[in-house]
Amino acid sequence: MLKRRSVRTYSDKPINNDEKQAIFDCAMRAPTAGNLMLYSMIEVTDQQMKEKLAISCDDQPFIAKAPLVVLFAADFQRILDLYRFSGAQEWSKEQGCEFRLPAEGDFFLAINDALIAAQSAVTAAESMGIGSCYIGDVMEQYEFHRELFELPDYVFPATLVCFGYPKTDGPKTPVPRYEEKYVHFENTYTRFEAGELLHMTDRLEEWQYKGKVPQYNGGNIGCHIYNRKYATDYANEMNRSVKEALKLWTGKK
C-alpha cells in the first residue's frame, strides 16, 4: 500500500474471472453503516458506455481502455424500497408518525459506504498486482450519468474506478504526500500560520518540477493549484451536479 499510485495505462493482460470476483468479494466485506450496505457496484462491460464515460468524465481516454470499470454508487433506494415493501409506511402511520424519506445525513452515510467499499476493492486489486485509478469526475454531468446508468432518485454516482494490470517498464516512484504533521493531529484540529503552511506542498513541487521553478499561475504554487484544481469549469460543474442531486434526494427544490 505504501508503494501504490494511480494507474492510467494498462497492459494487455486481462483480469480473469477469479480475480474480478475476489475484488467484488472484498468490496462487499468492507465496513458498512449498520450492515445496510448503502451502495451498489455497477460493472461497465459495454464498450460504448466506457467510451461515453471517457468523454463525460472530463475527456480521459484511458477509461475506455481499462479492462475493468466499476461505478460505486451511494444507494439509499434499495433500503427505502425494502422499508416500503415491508409495510413500514403503514406501520409509521399507525404509530402516528410520518414515514421518513432520505435526507442529507442519509446521503452522506451512503457516500461513506460507497467509498469504503471502493477502497476495499482497490486494496484487494493492489494485492494481486492489479492497478487502479479513481475517477471522481463521474460526480459531474449528473443528469447524463443518471440517465446512462438508469439511476433512480436515491442513487448517486459517488466514484468510478478503473482497474487493470499496469503497463510499465519498471517500478515507478509513488507520488509524494504532505508531511504527516499537516494531516495527523492529536485531540483537536490544527491550523497553520502562513509561513509554515506555504511549505506544505514542497515535496510535491520538488517531485513534479524537479527543482525547476515554473511560471506559476499567480506566481506561486498555491495560486497555481487554485487555478488548476479549484477555480475551474469542472469544479463548478461538480458542485452544480451535486447540488442538483441533493435537491432530488431531499425533495428540497
Residues 155-172 have pLDDT tens digits of 999 999 999 999 976 567
Residues 37-68 have pLDDT tens digits of 999 999 999 999 999 999 999 999 999 999 99
Interatomic CA distance for residues 158 and 238, integer angstroms: 11
Cell of 75: 444507494
Residues 64-120 have pLDDT tens digits of 999 999 999 999 999 999 999 999 999 999 999 999 999 999 999 999 999 999 999
Q: In Å, how far are 14, 27, 93, 118, 130 from 125, measured between CA atoms?
A: 13, 10, 47, 11, 5
Which pLDDT band, with edges at 50, 70 and 90, does 210 fall under? low
pLDDT value for 203? 82
pLDDT > 70 fraction of the chain, expressed in percent and rounded: 94
Domains of the chain: 17-174 (3.40.109.10)
Cell of 14: 486481462
What pTM was computed for the model? 0.93
Residues 115-144 have pLDDT tens digits of 999 999 999 999 999 999 999 999 999 999
| Higher-pLDDT residue of 205, 229 | 229
pLDDT value for 49? 98
| Higher-pLDDT residue of 110, 213 | 110
pLDDT value for 171? 61
Q: CB burial class (10 A; 0-12, 13-18, 19+) of residue 160?
A: buried
Mean pLDDT for all residues in the chain: 92
Nearest to 15 by CA among 40, 41, 43: 43
pLDDT value for 218? 67
Dihedral sign for Cα atoms in the order 147, 148, 152, 156: negative
- Interhelix angle 142-149/47-56, rounded to 10 degrees, is 170
pLDDT value for 129? 95
Nearest to 132 by CA among 224, 66, 192, 53: 66
Residues 219-243 have pLDDT tens digits of 677 888 888 889 999 999 999 999 9
